[in-house]
Amino acid sequence: MKPIDMTVAALAEALQNKEVSSQEVTRAYLDNIAREEANIGAYITVTEEAAMQQAKRIDEARANGKDLPKLAGVPAGIKDNICTKGTLTTCASKMLSNFVPPYQATVMEHLQDTVLLGKMNMDEFAMGSTTENSWYHVTHNPRNLACVPGGSSGGSAAAVAAGLAPFTLGSDTGGSIRQPAAFCGVVGMKPTYGSVSRYGLIAFASSLDQIGPLTKNVYDSALVLNEIVGYDRRDSTSVKRQYADFTKHIGREIKGKRIALPHEYFGEGLAPEVKEAVLAAAKKLEALGAQIVELSMPSLKAALPAYYVISSSEASSNLARFDGVKYGFRAQQYDSVEDLYRNTRSEGFGAEVKRRIMLGTFALSSGYYDAYYKKALQVRTIIVQEFQQMFEQCDAVLAPVAPTTAYRIGEKRENPLEMYLGDVYTVPVNIAGLPALSMPCGTDAAGLPIGMQLVGNAFGEAELYQIAYALEAALQEGGSGK
């Protein structure tokens, strides 16, 4: 089997057994990137020379008998809002087009013995659902090049789907891992808030952002998450606790598991093909011995406006640091400090980022704070409570990821509100800080992937992987394998 066709688990095992070298695997991926990247546009930066040097170092360490982590020598792509020391990190923005971080994000420290293939394209500052908002180029969906790959982690999802990386890391603020995973037909995990350090993740909305893996299958996702979770004193939101091996329940039967179907997720606006595929997945789970429970989440409609108020408000605060003074892009023409700020931000940010900064600044302004931001925080509390009530009656929640499959590039570019509506099923998870896994569960009439998500209780990732793996095996002949 060619390296680019192997799973992360198979690659890791082959590398450990010295059946293949990291240099051979890395070269195979770099060659595939050279062939396919022009059509896909998944990368902003490809670190070819550094990747081969890193692969050589790992091969030498393995040959000398050094004890290495499980994923040592496996190549990976990293979303371009995660800081990589010495490697350009742009957030797909003109504002950071010359920013080379002097430090590593914590997740990169955890993955220091994996091989960095490069930095993935994304919506600018992670604001968008299509990866059309990149300052660099549009990313295309490998399943249909005329369609969007989703966003904001569109480059990360497209790379895994196209065989341009065995796994990638993305960030999920309101569905930005799960939605592109669904559109591209791969597996995406948004972990529990606080389980993966955000140190070195360039912030969009600090109370919502979470780093997670995108992989070919469920087992690979659990392997990668094992490597990146853990307490980090440099992240004030990091949770100090012991994390068990996420693969420990994989392969066990799911008989008796209670899976909730909140009826609000299956109402108006959901494409019939998506609804049919997700409900068919529920039937598969039922056939495996799970119990399907119909519940209600009345606040679902309020989640989307609450999310956009909270996330835009936090973005307004977080992006205030990009002023042309400290680092990043600086306008060339200005007559005063005020002009410098205004011109730098006008020229450095794209339209979608400006739109959300203005929305957030308005929501936080005097006279509107109580009407918008405070109200959104109250809705957040209600959503948390509703999830808590559901998890008293179930082990996981099954829902669609997006109302439709991938749409055509440019189709929603002039209608941002319609694009925002596509996040209706994903944002409640981020608001509540819960884990959720997106996986393919079918295709539509055009052959485009349909995604479903399993939502778990806080720190319930191991149980989600158990359920998802069993379903994956039922949906795909032969299962996911190791």
Task: Based on the residue annotation, tell me whether 79 is a catalytic residue of this protein.
Answer: yes
Give me 345's structure tokens. 């931000």
CATH 3.90.1300.10 fits 3-255, yes or no: yes
Compute the average pLDDT of residues 337-353: 97
Q: Is the pLDDT of residue 482 over 70?
A: no
Predicted confidence (pLDDT) per residue in 437-470, tens digit: 999 999 999 999 999 999 999 999 999 999 999 9
Across the chain, mean pLDDT equals 96
Q: Is the pLDDT of residue 134 over 90?
A: yes
Contact criterion met (CB below 8 Å) for 435 and 446: no
CA gap 305, 300 in Å, rounded: 10
Q: Is the pLDDT of residue 413 over 90?
A: no
3-state SS assignment for residue 45 = strand
3-state SS assignment for residue 442 = strand
Q: Is the pLDDT of residue 479 over 60?
A: no
Task: Based on the residue annotation, tell me whether 480 is a catalytic residue of this protein.
Answer: no
411-425 per-residue burial string, b: 16 or more CB within 10 A, e: under 16: bbbeebeebbebbbb
pLDDT of residue 416: 85
Q: Where exactly are the structural domains of the chain?
A: 3-255
Q: Is the pLDDT of residue 11 over 70?
A: yes
Cβ contacts of 214 within 8 Å, gap of 6 or more: 153, 156, 157, 160, 167, 168, 169, 170, 177, 180, 181, 186, 187, 188, 189, 221
Identified catalytic residue from 176, 195, 312, 438: 176
- Which amino acid does the sequence have at 90? T
CA gap 334, 324 in Å, rounded: 11
pLDDT of residue 478: 37
CA gap 26, 116 in Å, rounded: 9
Neighbours of 337 (CB within 10 A): 11
- Beta bridge mates, 439: 452
Taken in order 235, 236, 237, 238, the sign of the CA dihedral is positive
Compute the average pLDDT of residues 209-215: 98
Q: Which residue has the tokens 């688990």?
A: 9
* Burial class of residue 68 (count of CB atoms within 10 Å of its CB; 0-12, 13-18, 19+): middle
Compute the average pLDDT of residues 194-201: 98
Compute the average pLDDT of residues 116-143: 98
Q: Is the pLDDT of residue 22 over 50?
A: yes
Task: Based on the residue annotation, tell me whether 176 is a catalytic residue of this protein.
Answer: yes
pLDDT of residue 59: 98
Identified catalytic residue from 79, 119, 257, 412: 79
Task: Please report which confidence band the pLDDT of residue 477 belongs to, taking 50, 70 and 90 as the band edges.
Answer: low
Give me 126's structure tokens. 């992670």
Predicted confidence (pLDDT) per residue in 90-104, tens digit: 999 999 999 999 999
pLDDT of residue 33: 98
Residue 224 CA: distances (Å) to CA of 18, 159, 210, 211, 347: 20, 16, 15, 12, 38
Identified catalytic residue from 152, 238, 299, 312: 152
HSE toward the beta carbon, residue 2, CA cutoff 13 A: 10
Structure letter (DSSP) for residue 319: G
3-state SS assignment for residue 47 = coil
- pTM recorded for the entire structure: 0.96
- Beta bridge mates, 118: 46, 77
Compute the average pLDDT of residues 241-245: 94
